Amino acid sequence: MNTTINLLYFARVAELVGKRAETWPLAVDTTGEHLLAQLRARYPRLAQAQRLRLAVNQEHAALAARVQPGDEVAIFEPVTGG
């Protein structure tokens, strides 16, 4: 059984954590919000990114979305355009 998730970091988030991807231990499913809290605890510089968003398995997801072992989770800031 897979007990990890694959995290992908984009743009400024990658700069703040110092990497573009990593494998993260996740023994049981959790919420995106809980995952972001864990990431902020490990990477205090993420406090500079107030409006983090996530995608689970290449689908935009709410912070309340479930994240399960084996998932791919992308962490990014919202992008505005004109």
Q: What pLDDT is recorded for position 28? A: 84
Q: Of 12, 7, 9, nearest to 79 (Cα)?
A: 12
Domain boundaries, the chain: 4-76
Q: Which pLDDT score is estimated for 27?
A: 77
Q: What is the CATH number of domain 4-76?
A: 3.10.20.30
What pLDDT tens digit does each residue of the chain (82 aa) get? 679 999 999 999 999 999 999 999 997 889 999 999 999 999 999 999 989 999 999 999 999 999 999 999 999 998 765 5
What pTM did the predictor assign? 0.91
Torsion angle, CA of 42/11/77/65, rounded to 10 degrees?
-60
Among 79, 77, 78, 70, smallest CA distance to 7 is for 70
Query: Whole-angstrom Cα distance, residue 4 to residue 25?
Result: 4
